[in-house]
Amino acid sequence: MNAGGEVHFESKVVDFILRDGGTKMAGVVLADGREITGESVILATGHSARDIYQLLADKKILMEQKPFAVGMRIEHPQPLIDSIQYSYERGTERPRILPAARYNLATKIDNRGVHSFCMCPGGFIVPAATMNDEVVVNGMSLARRNSPFANSGMVVTVEPEDTVKFKKEHGILAGIAYQKDLEVKASVAGGGKQKAPGQKVNDFIAGKLSAELPKTSYFPGLTSCRLDEILPHDVSYRMKIGLKKFGNQMKGYLGEEANLLGFETRTSSPLRIPRDEQSLTHPEVVNLIPCGEGAGYAGGIVSAAIDGLKCAEAAIVLK
Ligand SMILES: Cc1cc2nc3c(=O)[nH]c(=O)nc-3n(C[C@H](O)[C@H](O)[C@H](O)COP(=O)(O)OP(=O)(O)OC[C@H]3O[C@@H](n4cnc5c(N)ncnc54)[C@H](O)[C@@H]3O)c2cc1C
């Protein structure tokens, strides 16, 4: 701010101002009609700015499909995870000196990764959709990590070739269409008002509807559904095998209290906006600097922040 920077809150970018046959970006147009121009544009709109990906596609600005991952949130009572990880009898109180236990699980099934993601000890499962017709679940922990639940993303890698069904209609945006398809299916299966479809882990593996679901931290609530049938088969069968392996590694992980919620679709961007390794500028639009998670250069708060610093320095060099 001391160097003359301005922050425009509630200002949505709806268009790009392109010059020199689309090879230079002179600025952006905001929803209220204002134009903001500059010598370079850092585009850091995150992985859920689907309107911006659409705008880039409409303007024929080069993007590349990249792998991402989809799956579910798995939830357990935190005392169960504590007892597994700290190797004590369930029912024993966790010694105060120990933090709520976490875990990290990963395997490879038929050339695709199956892994836990963003494990939240003593945390909550929260709604993370960006449109009313979607249900997306994500996880978070408060600093105290004192919720009675432990949750984690449990996801399978999706390669660009796995999205081929959506390619004809959506072209480069096929990965986004794949995510959206699952999100809408979750909303329909949940029955509205952000209720999420849920299934016990054991029933997911056995392929049957859960007669009842364990307690959850997800406040909009759950509807019992066949998640194994809604997920694409490529994801579902790998997830079943992966979960069984994880159950062998962590005794009790697949017990009656373990629950799955659908769907975790926003683990990372299905697209990369390419940039030169040195200048960090787009190869075709010379003063566009793609930045952060939405451009495919970060995965999480710290790496996105560091990428922001790198991009700011790149913009200074361009000046
Ligand atoms: C519930 C939840 C929990 C998470 N927990 C963790 C965690 O514990 N640790 C961790 O490392 N990561 C966590 N993440 C992921 C982390 O939030 C992201 O990796 C990170 O925020 C990405 O940063 P970014 O700057 O690239 O994008 P974002 O943070 O998504 O920022 C993009 C910004 O661009 C704005 N924008 C979008 N479109 C437009 C437009 N058209 N015009 C103007 N502005 C626009 C958006 O409003 C937003 O402010 C969590 C995410 C969620 C949803």
Q: Residue 1 class from Cβ within 10 Å (0-12 exposed, 13-18 middle, 19+ buried)?
A: exposed
Distance 267 CA to ligand 1 centre (A): 11
- Ligand 1 neighbour 140 (Cβ under 6 A): yes
Angle subtended by helix axes 50-58 and 174-190, to nearest 10: 150
Q: Residue 32 class from Cβ within 10 Å (0-12 exposed, 13-18 middle, 19+ buried)?
A: exposed
Q: Is the pTM of this model over 0.85?
A: yes
Span 281-302, pLDDT tens digits: 999 999 999 999 999 999 999 9
Instruction: Return d(Cα 234, Cα 241) in angstroms, integer.
Output: 11
Span 12-51, pLDDT tens digits: 999 999 999 999 999 999 999 999 999 999 999 999 999 9
Query: What is the rounded end-to-end Cα distance, in angstroms, of the chain?
Result: 18
Distance 136 CA to ligand 1 centre (A): 14
CA-proximal residue: ligand 1, atom 45 (nearest): 45
- 249 SS3 class: helix
For the CA of 138, the closest atom of ligand 1 is: 1
Span 104-127, pLDDT tens digits: 999 999 999 999 999 999 999 999
Q: Is the bond preceding residue 263 a cis peptide, omega within 30 degrees?
A: yes
Span 51-67, pLDDT tens digits: 999 999 999 999 999 99
- Ligand 1 neighbour 123 (Cβ under 6 A): no
* Segments making up each domain of the chain, as ranges: 13-64+272-318, 68-264
Average pLDDT, the chain: 97
- Ligand 1 neighbour 227 (Cβ under 6 A): no
Q: How many CA atoms lie within 13 A of 179 on its CB side?
A: 27
Q: Residue 218 class from Cβ within 10 Å (0-12 exposed, 13-18 middle, 19+ buried)?
A: buried
**Which CATH number is correct for 13-64+272-318, 1.20.1640.10, 3.50.50.60, 3.40.50.12280, 3.30.360.10?**
3.50.50.60
- Ligand 1 neighbour 290 (Cβ under 6 A): no
